Amino acid sequence: MKLGTTELMIILAIVVLLFGPSQIPKLTRMFKKSSQNFKAGMDEAAAEGDALKTQAQTVTTDAVAQAQAAADAAARQAQEAAAAAAKAAQDAAELAAKQAENKL
């Protein structure tokens, strides 16, 4: 929706009638200050959003690293368990072989 010159003149006339010519400078200053505060708030919100995004990325990266470390530890434990099971099987086979030799 675009405001043309005629519409702006009508709005200005209504404002002058409602507030009087002496109040126009005060209204202008208030509008300017409100606009500046709004822009500052938007900039602050954008900066806070960027900070939260960075923080979320850091937390995600840390979580991935912790998950990878846990997976690596589990893999090492599984390998150690498999090696221990293989050693136990080998020892059992050797013991069975010795017992078989003693029976003969």
pLDDT one-digit tens code per residue, 53-73: 999 999 999 899 899 999 999
Helix runs in 1-104, H state only: 5-19, 24-103
What's the average model confidence in pLDDT over 37-51? 92
Q: How far apart are CA 24 and CA 30, in angstroms?
A: 10
What's the average model confidence in pLDDT over 75-95? 91
What's the average model confidence in pLDDT over 75-91? 91
Instruction: Say if residue 46's pLDDT is above 80.
Output: yes
Q: How far apart are CA 11 and CA 88, in angstroms?
A: 93
Residue 1 banded pLDDT, cuts 50, 70, 90 = low
Side chain identity, residue 95: L
DSSP 72: H
Place of tokens 């003149």: 9
